[in-house]
Chain A
Amino acid sequence: MAFADRDRRFRPKLPRRKRWGTAVYAMLVLSILVGIVGLVTLIAQVVVEGAGWLSFGFITNFPSRFPERAGVWAALWGTVWIMGITFLFAVPVGVGAAVYLEEYAPKNRLTRLIELNIANLAGVPSIVYGLLGLAVFISLLGLGRTLLTGGMTMGLLVMPIVIISSREAIRAVPSTYREAAYGLGATRFQVVIGVVLPQAVPGIMTGTILAMSRAIGEAAPMIAIAALTFVTFAPTGPMDRFTVLPIQIYSWVQDPREGFSGLAAAGIIVLLVVLLSMNAIAILIRNKTQTRSEE
C-alpha cells in the first residue's frame, strides 16, 4: 500500500511553497540588479567625470603634462595594433588547438593532462604572462619591447580562453552531422572545414569576444615588457615601441594634479568605445553566421 502511505504523508503546504517561490524569485532579481547597478554606476561616474574632457584634440594629441593638451592618439593606435596582433596570433592558433583536441587527439591520459593544463593556464595571473613575454620574446628571441612582443604576449594570455570556448563550440556540433559527412566520403579534414567549423563559428566568436575584451584592459603584462609611458608617435609598424590605453589611463590616474582624473575617465570612455565597437563587429558576424546555420 505504498501509494496510500505516500498520500497520507503528503502535506500540500501550498502557501508556504508559494512563498518560497516568491522569495527565490526576489533573490534572483536582486542578483541581476547587483550586476546592473554596479555597471550603471561605474559608467555613469566615468561619463560624468570624463565627458567634459572628450574632444577632438583629446583623440589626436599625444600625452602632455598640461591636461588640456593631453590626448590618447599614441595609446589608441597602440591598443588597435596590440588587439590586431593578439587576434591574428591567438585566434588561429587557439582554434587550431581546439580542433586538434576535439577532432584529432586520441582520448588518453596525455590528452587529459594537456586539457587540464590549458584550463589551469586560464587562471594564471596576467603579470606572469608579462614575465614570460619578457623572457621568451625579448631575451630569447630578441624581438625587442615592440608591438609584436606585446601582441604575442597578450595572445598567449588569452589563448586558453579561445581554446576552451572553441572546444565547447566544436563539441556542441551534433555528431550526426559528422557521421553524415563521413558517410558521403568526406575526409576528416573536409569534415572539420566543411561541417564542424561552420557550425562552431558563433561559439568561437563568443569566446573571441571574451578573449579580446580581457586583452584590451590588461596593463600588467604590458608594464612587465616596459611599454612606454610617455610617447610622441603613433606606431607605424609591428616593430615599433608603443603604449596602450590602460597604461595611459593608469599613468593619469596616478597623477595628483588637477584635471588628470578627468583625463583618466575620458581615457576609459575611449577604451569602452573601442571595446564595444570591436565586440559589435564580432556580434554582427556571429549573428550572420547563426542565421545561416539555422536555415
Chain B
Amino acid sequence: MNPIRSLATLVMLAGSLLALAACGGGGDDTGLSGTIEIDGSSTVFPITQAVAEDFYILHPGARVNVSVSGTGGGFKRLITGETDISNASRRIKDAEAESAAANGVEFIEMRVATDGLSVLVNLDNDFVECLTVDELHLMWSPGSTINNWNQVRPSYPDQELRLYGPDTDSGTFDYFTEEINGESQVSRSDYTASADDNVLVQGVGGDKNALGYFGFAYYTENTDKLRAIAIDNGAGCVEPTVETIESGEYAPLSRPLFLYVNRASLDEELVAEFLRFYMGSAATLALEVGYVPAGDEVYLENLQAAGL
C-alpha cells in the first residue's frame, strides 16, 4: 500500500463517514418543525431540559436546543436576537435591557419557579438548629477569621468550623454573597470551593465540622447525608421547605427563576406552542427537579402577557 495513498484513503474515509452520518436521522413529523434556541442559567436548565424532553416526545420533528452559558451569557445572546428564550436566575439588568432596546429586541419576562438556597451541616452536628443572617455574614464576610463554632455563638461547642461553598463562577455564589454579604461576588475565599454541587454534598456529608450552602434542589436529593438549618432573618427561624420557599417566608435565601422570551419569536407557531406547553407542565416539572413551582395563576399571567 502506497503510504501517500493510504493517508489519502484515511482522509476519504473520514469524509465518507461524515457523508454516512448526513444520511441518518430525520424523525417523524407531527406538523410542528423548526428550531427553538435556548441558552442561559444552569439553575433554570433542569426545568427547561425536562420541558424540552417532554415536548420532544410530542413533537419529534421539532428541535429544542438548550445550552448553558450562565444567566449573563444567555442574556448576551438574547440581546442580539440570537436566541428565542433565555433561562435566567435573576431579573435582567438595566444595562442589559438597554442594549436589547438598542438592538430592537423586545422581550417578555416569565416567572417559572423559585429556587431556595439551603445552608447545610453534617448529620453528626446536633447543636445547630438555626442561624441568623448576621451570624452567616460573620462566617462568610471577606477577611473573616472565624474558624471555630464557639466564635459564631458562645453556646456552641469548641469545635473547628470548616466552610464549603460553590466556586466564584456559580450563580449560587453570586446570589448567596449578594444576600448575606450585601454585595455580589464578595466573600471570604478560604473555604472549600467547587463548581460541582456533588463535591459539596460529599464534602459536608463527610465532615462533622462542616457548614456549606447550595441549591435547595441538591439538598432534597441528599437529605440522608445532610441536614438543612433554619434561617432567622429577624422574624424568627424558618426552615427551608417547599411551602416556606414558595411563600417567600424563607428569606432571604430564596430566589425567583425566569424565562426571558424574545417577542419576535412568538410569531413562530413552534415557540408559541412550546411556551404553552412549558407553562402547562412547569408546576409538575419544577417540583420534579427540586424547585418550587410558581403557582398556577403566575403561569396563566405569563401566557396572557405573551398573548398566547
Contact = CB atoms under 8 A, between A and B. Distances in A.
B25 A257 contact: no
Interface in A45-72: 62-65
Interface string B1-31: 1111011011101110110011111110000
Contact of B21 (A64, A199, A235, A254): A235
Interface in A171-202: 193, 197-199, 201-202
B3 A256 contact: no
Interface string A85-106: 1011001100000000000000
A205 B218 CA distance: 46
Interface stretch (B60-68, B109-117, B139-147): B60-68
B1 A256 contact: no
A197 B6 CA distance: 12
Interface string B188-202: 000000011110010
Given A88-B11, A233-B27, A256-B221, A65 B77 contact: no
A77 B21 contact: yes
B65 A197 contact: no
B222 A232 contact: no
A87 B10 CA distance: 10
Given A230-B65, A236-B26, A197 B3 contact: yes
Most chain B C-beta atoms within 10 Å of own C-beta, residue among A77, A91, A205, A229: A229
Contacts of B6: 201, 285, 288-289
Q: Is the interface on chain B under 10, 10 to 19, 20 to 34, or 35 or more residues?
A: 35 or more
Given A65-B50, A230-B52, A281-B10, A253 B66 contact: no
A235 B46 CA distance: 23
B69 interface: yes
Interface string B45-59: 110111011001000
B152 interface: no
Most chain A C-beta atoms within 10 Å of own C-beta, residue among B26, B46, B67: B67
A146 to B, nearest CB: 11
Given A65-B289, A254-B197, A292 B21 contact: no
Given A64-B53, A228-B67, A88 B15 contact: yes
Contacts of B48: 230
Contacts of B4: 193, 197-198, 201
B24 A229 contact: no
Interface residues of A, number: 52
Contacts of B25: 233-236
A232 B15 contact: no
Contact of B11 (A87, A223, A236, A238): A87
B67 A229 contact: yes
A233 B63 contact: yes
Contacts of B45: 229-230
A80 interface: yes
B246 interface: no
Contacts of B201: 256
Contact of A230 (B17, B66, B73, B196): B66
Contacts of B239: none
B201 to A, nearest CB: 6
A84 B14 contact: yes
Contacts of B65: 228, 230-231, 241
B198 A232 contact: no
B84 interface: no
Given A65-B289, A230-B49, A81 B66 contact: no
B7 A84 contact: no
Nearest to B20: A80
Given A256-B197, A257-B221, A232 B63 contact: yes
A228 B60 CA distance: 18
Contact of A237 (B22, B39, B60): B22
Contacts of B24: 77, 234, 236
A261 interface: yes
Contacts of B56: 62, 232
- A-B interface, 6 closest residue pairs, ranked by CB to CB distance from nearest: A230-B66, A201-B3, A289-B3, A198-B3, A232-B56, A230-B49
Given A230-B48, A230-B49, 19 more contacts: A62-B56, A65-B289, A77-B21, A83-B14, A85-B18, A87-B14, A88-B15, A199-B3, A223-B69, A226-B73, A230-B64, A230-B65, A232-B63, A236-B22, A241-B63, A254-B198, A258-B221, A292-B3, A293-B3
7 contacts: A62-B56, A63-B49, A81-B18, A205-B7, A230-B45, A255-B198, A281-B10
